[in-house]
């Protein structure tokens, strides 16, 4: 599957930079391309300069709202970012048109942080505009939720997150939810934490995107997981994860694959990788709420057999009994068995419900504060009425 990736705001642009990185790895190691174009869109010029893998020309690093923001961002005011996105969307559309292999794209992926200003405000607007122009291509959002300390220290974080999620849900074909807090390492520096989080967010997409783009017959799975399968497996609120089980460095020459111990170990490794994928999902959810699911097993071909695939399918069905499950194999990895999992069309997402409820209270609180502030300002005006002024009208 080939994506066209657009990062919006600082957080979204860093995630898009991660997609550019794994695309370079796919081209170097697997001679395949999984991203047709990667673009970073921001109202802050300095943030655009901090990227590593996205091309540095003005068509790939796009500054919007230069007149209104002066190139210094929108200060977490996502309403302003939405207004700027409407006005400057043509810059992004023009850049997309210039992509040589644009029409090979199977879908769009727009990335943004929910708590900030630029990404939070612009992602739904850009999604809507792209959807009106390219009606034949699915448009997915990858939305990063804030850290817990951000939620506790600033009301605007909750407000931005709720308005971003509600707006995106109205226009996107699917929304990949990523909770920053699940990836935090408290002993690491801030820079290392953020770099590590960005890596973990993007990595689960690698094998899933590569599997359907393989050219060599020996690397094409017996049950190929292609763009069509992925598109049919993704809708609404979605989470993604992957897990890995290490393979032994060699097999003892006197023990054949028919040995019952080997057979048990193969199944155990698959379940271990599936467990790791479920525990490392990008967002905490109840798998029973999923209406669609997908899993991909990637390992050397000799380590994958029908029994392993069957056991993993039954295991996932037990976790998500109401889900339509698709699966595939990808005989590529060496030294490990990887399982990538997507749970989609989640019916109940408690954390999002909480964001909505808290934002409704915040709006009421803000309105009350404004009334109190206006009343005090009027009172000050009344008190100062008889004081002479040095300003001439």
Show me where the domains of the chain are located.
Answer: 3-202, 240-344
Assess contact for 126 and 92: CB atoms under 8 A.
yes
- For 114-143, write each residue's pLDDT tens digit: 999 999 999 999 999 999 999 999 999 999
Tell me the two tokens of residue 171. Answer: 């226009």
Q: For 240-344, which CATH superfamily applies?
A: Tubulin/FtsZ, C-terminal domain (3.30.1330.20)
Looking up tokens 């990836």, which residue turns up? Answer: 183
Neighbouring C-alpha atoms within 13 Å toward the C-beta of 109: 30
**Which of the 8 DSSP states describes residue 180?**
G
* pLDDT for the residue numbered 264: 57
Q: Per CATH, the architecture of 3-202 is what?
A: 3-Layer(aba) Sandwich (3.40)
* pLDDT for the residue numbered 301: 84
pLDDT in tens, the chain (393 residues): 999 999 999 999 999 999 999 999 999 999 999 999 999 999 999 999 989 999 999 999 999 998 888 888 898 999 999 999 999 999 999 999 989 989 999 999 999 999 999 999 999 999 999 999 999 999 999 999 998 888 888 889 999 999 999 999 999 999 999 998 887 765 556 566 778 888 899 999 999 999 999 988 888 988 899 999 999 999 999 999 999 988 876 554 444 455 445 555 778 888 999 999 999 999 999 999 999 999 999 988 888 888 888 899 999 999 999 999 999 999 987 788 999 999 999 998 999 999 999 998 888 887 888 888 888 888 888 888 888 888 876
* pLDDT for the residue numbered 260: 46
* pLDDT for the residue numbered 267: 80
The rounded distance, in Å, linking the Cα atoms of 234 and 203 is 18
- For 144-158, write each residue's pLDDT tens digit: 999 888 888 888 999
The rounded distance, in Å, linking the Cα atoms of 293 and 70 is 45
The rounded distance, in Å, linking the Cα atoms of 313 and 299 is 16
> Which CA distances in Å does 1 have to 27, 34, 37, 205?
14, 6, 13, 10
């Amino acid at each position: 599957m080939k994506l066209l990736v657009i990062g919006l705001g600082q957080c979204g642009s860093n995630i898009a930079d991660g997609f550019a990185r794994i695309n370079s790895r796919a081209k170097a190691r697997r001679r395949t391309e999984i991203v047709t174009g990667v673009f970073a869109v921001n109202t802050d010029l300095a943030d655009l300069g901090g990227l590593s893998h996205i091309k540095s020309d003005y068509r790939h690093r796009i500054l919007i709202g230069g007149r209104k923001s002066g190139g210094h961002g929108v200060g977490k005011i996502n309403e302003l970012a939405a207004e700027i996105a409407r006005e400057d969307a043509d810059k992004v559309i023009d850049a997309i048109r210039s992509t040589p292999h644009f029409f090979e794209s199977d879908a769009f992926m727009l990335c943004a942080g929910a708590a900030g200003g630029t990404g939070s405000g612009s992602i739904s607007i850009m999604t809507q505009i792209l959807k009106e122009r390219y009606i034949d291509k699915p448009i997915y959002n990858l939305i990063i939720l804030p850290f817990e300390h951000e939620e506790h220290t600033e009301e605007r974080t909750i407000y931005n997150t709720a308005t971003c999620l509600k707006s995106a849900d109205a226009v996107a074909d699917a929304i990949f939810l990523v909770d920053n807090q699940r990836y935090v390492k408290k002993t690491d520096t801030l820079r290392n934490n953020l770099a590590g989080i960005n890596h973990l967010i993007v990595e689960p997409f690698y094998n899933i995107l590569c599997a359907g783009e393989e050219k060599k017959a020996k690397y094409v799975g017996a049950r190929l997981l292609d763009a069509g399968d992925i598109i049919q497996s993704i809708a609404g609120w979605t989470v993604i994860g992957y897990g890995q089980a290490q393979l032994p460095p060699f097999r003892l020459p006197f023990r054949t694959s028919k040995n019952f111990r080997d057979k048990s170990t193969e199944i155990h490794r698959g379940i271990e990788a599936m467990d790791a994928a479920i525990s490392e999902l990008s967002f905490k959810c109840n798998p029973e709420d999923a209406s669609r699911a997908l899993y991909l097993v990637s390992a050397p071909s000799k380590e994958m057999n029908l029994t392993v695939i069957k056991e993993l399918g039954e295991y996932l069905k037990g976790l998500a009994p109401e889900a339509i499950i698709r699966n595939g194999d990808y005989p590529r990895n060496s030294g490990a068995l990887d399982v990538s999992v997507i749970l989609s069309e989640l019916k109940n997402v408690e954390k999002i419900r909480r964001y909505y409820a808290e934002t409704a209270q915040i709006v009421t609180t803000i309105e009350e504060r404004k009334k109190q502030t206006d009343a005090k300002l009027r009172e000050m005006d009344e008190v100062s009425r008889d004081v002479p002024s040095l300003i001439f009208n």
